Amino acid sequence: MSNQLSEEDLEKALEMLAVAINEAGSEKEMLFLSKLCFVLANELADIDLLENAINKVNADL
pTM of the model: 0.80
For 1-61, the DSSP string reads: ------HHHHHHHHHHHHHHHHHH-TTTHHHHHHHHHHHHHHHH--HHHHHHHHHHHHHT-
Please give the pLDDT value at position 54.
Answer: 94
Could you report the per-residue pLDDT of 3-52, keeping only the tens digit for each?
Answer: 899 999 999 999 999 999 999 999 999 999 999 999 999 999 999 999 99
